[in-house]
């Protein structure tokens, strides 16, 4: 089990948005960050994305100890976000991360569908996929129509086209703007 403060976890469930998940992991790893993909629902490590792409996760949720996670990251996609929100292990990990003041990042449907019902958005500025705006507001979030919104230790993104911006925001918040800029430059961004 990994219990190191520099380890982050990105949760996957069937129906996750592939570009949001894989872009984020790719950019974080390019920056030298330790991030694991986690099959969050079921015993198998193979998870099928919203567009039919199958991914073999690094770990299963039963194999991780997220007590000291640097980041808990939730990609969007449907029904991936709904599947994550329905999983008590996932919501428990997210809730504990939030209560202790840990870092959480969610994109697309995930801010409203996964974070909203457990109170993470309450009082925070956030964004999400536009069709979930009303759910975000009902959950007590302050909707901001931006690609990415940083509100303290919470980063939210609005959808697939913002995956790179979202990933760079995580890197910048963790390792600084210089590292994020260096990785972006190397990717010709």
pLDDT-derived band at 2 (thresholds 50, 70, 90) equals very low
Question: Which is the catalytic residue, given 25, 108, 121, 136?
Answer: 108
Q: Is residue 117 pLDDT above 50, yes or no? A: yes
Q: What is the pLDDT of residue 5?
A: 63
Over residues 64-81, the pLDDT tens digits come to 999 989 999 999 999 999
Over residues 26-38, the pLDDT tens digits come to 999 999 999 999 9
Active site residue 108: yes
Q: Is residue 4 pLDDT above 70, yes or no? A: no
Over residues 137-182, the pLDDT tens digits come to 999 999 999 999 999 999 999 999 999 999 999 999 999 999 999 9
pLDDT-derived band at 42 (thresholds 50, 70, 90) equals confident
Q: Is residue 90 pLDDT above 50, yes or no? A: yes
User: What is the full DSSP assignment across the chain?
Assistant: ----TTEEEEEE-TT--HHHHHHHHHHHHHTT-EEEEEE-SSS-SEEE-TTS-EEE-SEEGGG--GGG-SEEEE---TTHHHHHHT-HHHHHHHHHHHHTT-EEEEETTHIIIIIGGGTSSTT-EE---GGGHHHHHHTT-EE--SSEEEETTEEEE-SGGGHHHHHHHHHHHHH-HHHHHHHHHHTT-
Q: What is the pTM of this model?
A: 0.96
Tell me what percent of the residues of the chain surpass a pLDDT of 70: 97
């Amino acid at each position: 089990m990994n219990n190191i403060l520099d380890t982050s976890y990105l949760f996957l469930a069937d129906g996750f948005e592939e570009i949001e998940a894989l872009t984020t992991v790719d950019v974080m790893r390019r920056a030298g960050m330790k991030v694991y993909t986690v099959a969050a629902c079921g015993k198998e490590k193979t998870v099928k994305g919203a567009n039919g792409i199958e991914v073999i996760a690094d770990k299963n949720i039963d194999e991780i100890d997220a007590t000291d996670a640097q980041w808990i990251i939730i990609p969007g996609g449907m029904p991936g976000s709904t599947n994550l929100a329905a999983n008590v292990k996932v919501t428990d990990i997210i809730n504990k991360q939030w209560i202790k003041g840990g870092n959480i990042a969610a994109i697309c449907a995930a801010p409203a569908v996964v974070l909203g019902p457990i109170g993470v958005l309450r009082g925070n500025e956030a964004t999400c996929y536009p069709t979930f705006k009303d759910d975000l507001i009902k959950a007590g979030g302050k909707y901001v129509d931006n690609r990415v919104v940083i509100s303290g230790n919470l980063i939210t993104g609005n959808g697939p086209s913002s995956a790179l911006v979202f990933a760079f925001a995580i890197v910048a918040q963790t390792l600084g703007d210089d590292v994020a800029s260096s990785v972006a430059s190397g990717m010709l961004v």
